[in-house]
Structure 1
Amino acid sequence: MFRKILFMSAILFQLSSAQAETVSPYKVLENTGKGLFTRIAANQQELAKFPELMRTIVEEELMPHVDYQYAAYKILGKHIKKTTAEERKNFVKSMRHYLIRTYANALTKYTDQKVIYEQEKPTNGKKVVAISTRIVDKNAPEIELQFKMRIHKKSGQWKAYDMVVEGISLLQSKKAELSRKIQQQGVAQVSLELASIAK
């Protein structure tokens, strides 16, 4: 009996993993966006009193779908070869906190605007796809966003690693900003600075 339960559990796990792999990046982005924006819209009164709540919302709704480690490694670029495992770990941790703060600050401007997601397309075996999104506000110009999504080799899950706002990549902008600092001060010092900013 116990063996049967273990066997059935293994099959269910395999099925759920297979299903996770089949979820397209378009659906992942749309489902994540809907969950995030619905929660923000529903908590406008609380957010007005406690703005720090936005970080909690970002942490719970958005960050599970952000490949912050990949983004951190992309920012390190050529400097990654000169880092220790501990330095990389600390940099990734600092970058995660920094991203939470950055996204939380950006999302404070959202109240209940209409978000239009790009229609689903076949990925055709691509490992990286760019998905367009539009934020429509009656009282402001339309905002064009593009999310770069990457599929993880082991988990088969699609996660976002960069956001392009009106043609400007946040990842590339951050890399350009930090590259010289890392070269001059070292990864450990830059990690401390990012952690300090994220507080």
Structure 2
Amino acid sequence: MKHFTAIFALLFITSLTSFSSNAYSIENSPYTVIAETGERLFSRIAKDQESLKKFPELMRDIVEEELMPSIDYKYAAFKVLGRNLRTMTPEQREKFVVSMRSYLVRTYAIALKQYKQQDVAFESHKATNGARIVGVNSVIRDANAPEINITFQMRQDRQTSQWKAYDMIIEGISLLSSKEAEISQRIQKSGIDQVTLELASFNK
């Protein structure tokens, strides 16, 4: 499952490298969040190439500063927990969210080390009509591989109105749904506290 998650992460990061000019001109939309995050992320990676060769762990700092502000990791963590969320104490929830966030940072940092730039086409901007959950479709094109269809699940926060990514569906398969099944099995077997520790240990 770790390998499976890393593939999803790489595809997510890859998709942030290109965007449509039409979407870019629309402020405060799920389309521009993806576009602008990708621009910041890869400009930073290009600028810090020499430092990354000497200090590979710098990639985590880049992910923290450029990518994570656009990831709704708390909502994603709660989605992954599913029904298990109801039986957890507030402290257990908080600890799990922290571990999940660190897990995502580590996963994205590993994936970025394998990155090779690909072409991406996004659907044209559309009005959200007040919806707070929006799917942004895209296609990754690689000369040496088949096209990959991806839908980014974006969520708008009620208080801040910010759009952030919380899931991606690649060729019909949801990252969160896949992780939820794995987490649920682990919780039933070992308990939430052990699963939280396991997620945290992946980050070391």
Question: Would you say same fold, with TM above 0.5?
Answer: yes
Report the AA paired with residue 94 of structure 1: S
Q: 1:96 aligned to 77, 98, 101, which one?
A: 101
Q: What's the offset of the Cα at 1:136?
A: 3.6
Tell me which residue corresponds to 2:128. Answer: 123
Does residue 48 (structure 1) correspond to residue 53 (structure 2)? The answer is: yes
Give the 3 Å change call, closer, same or farther, for CA 78–102 of structure 1 in structure 2.
same
1:25-174 mapped onto 2 (5 Å cutoff): 25-174=30-179
Aligned-residue identity in percent:
56
Give the 3 Å change call, closer, same or farther, for CA 166–47 of structure 1 in structure 2.
farther
Distance in 2, matches of 1:54 and 1:134, equals: 26
Q: In the TM superposition, what whole-angstrom CA distance separates every residue of 1:17-53 from its partner, at most 9, and x where no partner exists? A: xxxxx61111111111221122223333433333222
Tell me which residue corresponds to 1:12. Answer: none
Distance in 2, matches of 1:163 and 1:177, equals: 17
Give the 3 Å change call, closer, same or farther, for CA 44–32 of structure 1 in structure 2.
same
Q: In the TM superposition, what whole-angstrom CA distance separates every residue of 1:44-77 from its partner, at most 9, and x where no partner exists? A: 3433333222211111111111110001111111
Report the AA paired with residue 71 of structure 1: A
Q: Is the 8 A contact 1:30 1:117 kept in 2?
A: no
Tell me which residue corresponds to 1:4. Answer: none
Range moving further from structure 2, 33-42 or 76-85: 33-42
Unaligned runs of 5+ in 1: 1-21
Tell me which residue corresponds to 2:186. Answer: 181
Report the AA paired with residue 148 of structure 1: Q
Report the AA paired with residue 49 of structure 1: K
Distance in 1, matches of 2:120 and 2:65, equals: 20
Aligned residues: 178
Q: Secondary structure of the equivalent of 2:129?
A: coil
Q: Secondary structure of the equivalent of 1:58?
A: helix
Distance in 2, matches of 1:149 and 1:73, equals: 15
Q: In the TM superposition, what whole-angstrom CA distance separates every residue of 1:106-126 from its partner, at most 9, and x where no partner exists? A: 222224433433321111111
Give the 3 Å change call, closer, same or farther, for CA 191–90 of structure 1 in structure 2.
same
With normalisation by structure 1, the TM-score equals 0.81
Unaligned runs of 5+ in 2: 1-26
Report the AA paired with residue 36 of structure 1: L
Q: Is the 8 A contact 1:40 1:111 kept in 2?
A: no
Computing the radius of gyration from Cα coordinates, the structure with the larger value is 1
